[in-house]
Structure 1
């Protein structure tokens, strides 16, 4: 059998389930760490419940993903997860889901591992959202999940510091309402409202136009140069204000007549 015939015959099995995201659909990728509890609490023993070193690793990984060949207009990270909002008109790899998912999982794992100096693996899934409101709701969902998880994490680890066992600490906070968890922390002298916002709301990364001073060697003159740089936002808003924030980012890049 000639190679071209063999190639055509076998490639069918590799691509038989290929599909592409339809036009006029927003794409959001969510990328999660695999077995990160063991990696961050045992293998490398990052500070619990939050560690600035780990935070910075995740931020740098997001920045890499926003520069690795896709047109990503917003990156968001909380804990060991990352969400990426693609430009509405993104056409990379003909919008094939298999390619986007596999490349992002690989790029994330490679970048994070190189920064950590150890193996950190990530998986990826893709949401295909038919309208702007659902995009806003998606990011609000992850923002509020960050807030909920931060409150529970601070309660759990404060109890562990108070010599509660894993099971005792888990049972102590199980079923507690938000106000009851706040009260638990208050009994230890902790006001949850004063916890850094990046722990409670996650971190946003997006593009900003900045003006920098340069030098033109031909004219020997100073010149102003506009550049696009990634901005890391540790003070994201919450609830309806966050919806408005995400909406503004979408509108900034939306050139269609939807």
Structure 2
């Protein structure tokens, strides 16, 4: 059999189950760390419940993912997860989900591993969201998840530092309301509202444009050109204000 014929025959096994996201459907990728509890709490002993070094590694990983060839308009990270909102008219790889999943998981794993100087792995899945409202709801969901996780994590680790075992700390928090958890923290002298917003709301990363000053080497005239760079936002809003913030990215889309 000629190579071209063999190649055509075998390619079918790679591509016959390809799923391509339909045009005019919004795409959001969620990239999650695999076994990060073991990696960060046992192998590398990051500070619990939040560690600035880990936070900065996640930020750098998001920035990397926003520069690997996809048109990402908004990145978001909380804990060991990343969410990426693609441009509505993104067409790279004909919108094949296997390409997005494999490339983003691989790039995130490689970047974080280099930053950590150890092996780290991420998985990836693509959410197909038909409306702008669904996109807003998705990011509202992750934003509120960050709040819930932060409250639980601070309570859990205060109990652990107070001598509670992992089982005892978990059982103590079971069934407690948000108010109860706030009271628990307050009994240790911590006002949850005063904690850094990046811990409670996650971190947003998005493009901002700026004017770069230059000089024409021939005429010596001062010229300004438009450039863009990634902005790190550690003071995200919550609830309806965050909805409006996400909507601002959607309004810039081509439709």
What TM-score do you get using the length of structure 1 for normalisation? 0.97
> For this pair of structures, how many residues does the alignment match?
255
| 1:78-227 alignment, distance < 5 Å | 78-227=78-227
Instruction: Provide the secondary structure at the position in 2 that maps to 1:75.
Output: strand
CA distance in 2, matches of 1:198, 1:49: 13
Residue 63 of structure 2 corresponds to 63
**Aligned-pair distance for 1:223?**
3.0
CA RMSD of aligned residues (A): 0.9
C-alpha separation between the residues in 1 aligned to 2:197 and 2:206?
17
Deviation at 1:8, TM superposition (A): 1.2
For the Cα contact (< 8 Å) 2:212–2:225, is it kept in 1? yes
Question: What is the rounded CA distance, in whole Å, between the counterparts of 2:26 and 2:122 in structure 1?
Answer: 22
Contact 2:198 2:234 in 1 (8 A): yes
Confirm whether residue 229 of structure 1 aligns to residue 229 of structure 2: yes
> Does the Cα contact within 8 Å between 2:89 and 2:254 map onto a contact in 1?
no
SS at match of 2:151: helix
Secondary structure class of the residue paired with 2:254? coil
Q: CA deviation at 1:114?
A: 1.0
Deviation at 1:244, TM superposition (A): 0.6
The Cα offsets for residues 135-162 of structure 1, whole Å up to 9 and x where unpaired, read as 0000000000000000000000011111
- 2:77 and 2:218 map into 1 onto residues whose CA distance is 43
How far the C-alpha of 1:10 sits from its partner, in A, is 1.1
Provide structure 1 residue ranges, at least 5 long, that are not aligned to the other structure. none
